[in-house]
Amino acid sequence: IVGDGRLLDVVEGRDALGACRWLAQRPTGWVDAIGYVTLDLSGAYRLVADTMLANAVQVADPFHVVRIANERLDDTRRRVQNETLGHRGRKRDPLYRARKLLVLADERLDDDGRQRRQGLLRAGDPRGEVADAWTAKEAVRGIYQLDDPDVALEWTNELADTLTDPAYGPEVQQLGRTLRRWAAQIAAWHRSRATNGPTEAANNLAKRIKRVAFGMTDFVHWRVRVLLYAGRPDWTKLATITPATP
């Protein structure tokens, strides 16, 4: 995806090899001119950026950063649920009833919603581990309330150090380690404001194409259709509507 949201190509597989091969086939000057690359915190895509895009600034997509914080919160809630009640969440269980209130942004709740969340935590979170995970999630969201990139980097590193304290649950410590590994990329958003939004839009379109076709097993055929829809080609310059085989 380029800056205007146009899809350049689709490569097969989810590992680093396909993307690295594709970039290796591009002119050196073209690759060197790439200024930013947004990442969804995937290790494979970070490897691509490290290997092939040495001049580009890596930016961790804010949506995926916050999503990981919410996932660790959900993991904590499920573990505490099983440890305290001995079963998965049921509709009458306090933590199950609190699941949506916990992942919802705090500012989107009114006073009644906050009181309900706190009451459910008091009833179902005897050691305060879910509350700790919720606080960690909100602290991660707070990174994006900062304007200064240097302050954001300092805050992210301090938060990572805090969350990896053994006093916290394993899920919160895992979140802290993730923040530590990606601190520079997280803070880079404050300079670039680059996000993965255009990529997600193209990905949704690609999935829609496959859904409309009731599933496609031939990657080449699927790639052609995705590029025709999401690639926004200049039809006047196309000698054929069939892209070259990657």
Q: Are 50 and 72 in contact (CB under 8 A)?
A: no
Note the pLDDT of residue 243. 58
Strand partners, 37: 58
pLDDT at 136 over 90: yes
Beta strands in the chain (DSSP E): 36-39, 57-60
Which is higher by pLDDT, 75 or 211? 75
Q: What is the DSSP string of 120-188?
A: HHHHH-TTSHHHHHHHHHHHHHHGGG---HHHHHHHHHHHHHHHTSTTS-HHHHHHHHHHHHHHHHHHH
Considering the chain, what percentage of its residues have pLDDT values greater than 90?
A: 75
For residue 156, count CB atoms less than 10 angstroms from its CB and return exposed for 0-12, middle for 13-18, buried for 19 or more: buried
- Reading the block at residue 182, the tokens are 């990606």
Which CB contacts under 8 angstroms, 24+ apart, belong to 222-230? Answer: 222/10, 223/9, 223/10, 226/7, 226/10, 226/202, 227/7, 227/9, 227/10, 229/205, 230/6, 230/7, 230/202, 230/205, 230/206
Residue 51: enclosing H or E segment and its boundaries?
Answer: helix 43-52
Q: What ranges do the domains of the chain cover?
A: 16-61+195-237, 63-183
Q: CA-CA distance, 117 to 97, in Å (whole number)?
A: 9
Using the predicted structure, report yes or no on whether residue 213 has a pLDDT greater than 90.
no
Chain centroid to CA 55: how far?
A: 23
Residue 246 has pLDDT above 60, yes or no: no
Tokens of 191: 């300079």
pLDDT for residue 242 is more than 70: no
Question: 177 pLDDT exceeds 70?
Answer: yes
Q: Compute φ and ψ for 60, nearest 5 degrees.
A: -80, 130
* Cα–Cα distance, 200 to 62 (Å, whole number): 13
Strands 36-39 and 57-60: parallel
Task: Choose among 159, 132, 128, 2: nearest CA to 65.
Answer: 159
Give the residue from 158, 159, 160, 146 showing the smallest Cα distance to 188.
Answer: 146
What mean pLDDT do residues 99-119 have? Answer: 97
Q: Are 170 and 163 in contact (CB under 8 A)?
A: no
pLDDT band at 1 (very low <50, low <70, confident <90, very high): low
58 phi, psi to nearest 5 deg: -85, 135
User: Which amino acid is it at 6?
Assistant: R
